[in-house]
Amino acid sequence: QNETTVTEFILLGFSSNPALQLCLFGIFSVLYSATLMGNALVFVLICLDYRLHSPMYFFLCHLSIVDICYASNNVPHMLRNLLGQGRTISFAGCGTQIHLYLILALTECVLLAVMSYDRYVAICHPLRYALIMNRRVCLTLATVSWALGFIFGTLQASLALHLPFCGPCEVDHFFCEILAVLKLACADTTVNKVLIFAVCICFLLFPLALILISYLHILATILRIHSAAGWHRTFSTCGSHLTVVGLFYGNAIFMYMGPGSGNSSGREKVLSLFYSLVSPTLNPLIYSLRNKQVKEALLKLQRGKRVFHS
């Protein structure tokens, strides 16, 4: 009876030091701009260049969309926060952040596993690649990735937001991250934490196991290649994806399944910042700098612009 319903939350962010906040605002603004421009460029290149109309780039296109949405879900409010223009967020706004964050994170987990399967088929079964990874299969895999992310993200968000919150309303984070918000619930959150752990097993450990199995088969195939050019082509194709997988799954497992997960706000902020800014910024750089076809498409686009302006 003494409970008061929380209608808004206060995001504590990183620091109350004005000089540090201004410095962080400058750094994060640059990273956010790079995220939007880099992923948008990859998306445009894939759409415009017919040589990139293949399953690998089809899934990369979806990854770029996920990264743009990921950053745009959390970063604009964080930048506003750093400028001192209000740290509050409504309960509905907080719920939206949690919901979108979970959907996009879980979708990316499945999408990276799907991309590893694509690489497995391309390298281990090259003669049947076009038959196995046809347009219908690619559309089905992409749809399943988004559907699983939406279903389980919505389930987790719904359970979390139906908990009673009666104060304090200070979220020790720069956005409404589910572990940080659960700490404020004035009810037993055991079911929520068990569900989070179960979802981590299904969306982190299981896809990671599938990725490792795919790359073990790829490694066995590579060892049978006697051509140096074949080795280089295979490693350049898979290196980008392996780099992204290592960064994404490594940090996710450490954050949600590591010892003391959910108890260290400082660690949660740093790792969440990686997902919100660093990883979406690095993904287009990793793929474009290590991928010959993407670089060629970029040069072709630049030449086209010069011809148009001349």
Q: What is the pLDDT of residues 105-127, one digit of tens each?
A: 999 999 999 999 998 998 889 89
Is there a contact between 62 and 145 (Cβ–Cβ < 8 Å)? yes
Task: Specify the fold of 8-308.
Answer: Rhopdopsin 7-helix transmembrane proteins (1.20.1070)
Is there a contact between 176 and 89 (Cβ–Cβ < 8 Å)? yes
Is there a contact between 6 and 165 (Cβ–Cβ < 8 Å)? yes
Tell me what the pLDDT averaged over the chain comes to.
84
Q: Classify residue 49 by its DSSP letter.
A: -
For residue 259, give both structure tokens: 């010892």
Q: How far is CA 147 from CA 47, 161, 174, 189, 279, in A?
A: 23, 21, 28, 26, 22
Domains of the chain, residue spans: 8-308
pTM given for the model: 0.87
Q: Which residues pair with 185 in a beta bridge?
A: 165
Sheet architecture: strand order including 8-11: 88-90, 8-11, 170-171
Is there a contact between 149 and 107 (Cβ–Cβ < 8 Å)? yes
| Centroid of chain to Cα 304 | 32
Q: How far is CA 96 from CA 54, 99, 155, 176, 205, in A?
A: 34, 5, 13, 9, 26
Classify the C-alpha dihedral 62-114-98-36 as positive or negative. Answer: negative
Position 308 scores a pLDDT of: 41
CA distance linking residue 163 with residue 188, whole number of Å? 9
Is there a contact between 281 and 29 (Cβ–Cβ < 8 Å)? no
Neighbours of 191 (CB within 10 A): 11
Q: Give the pLDDT confidence of 159-210 residue by residue, as tens digits.
A: 998 988 876 788 888 888 898 899 888 888 899 999 999 999 999 999 999 9
**Highest averaged pLDDT of the listed ranges 2-6, 145-149, 243-247:** 145-149
**Mean pLDDT for the stretch of residues 130-157:** 95
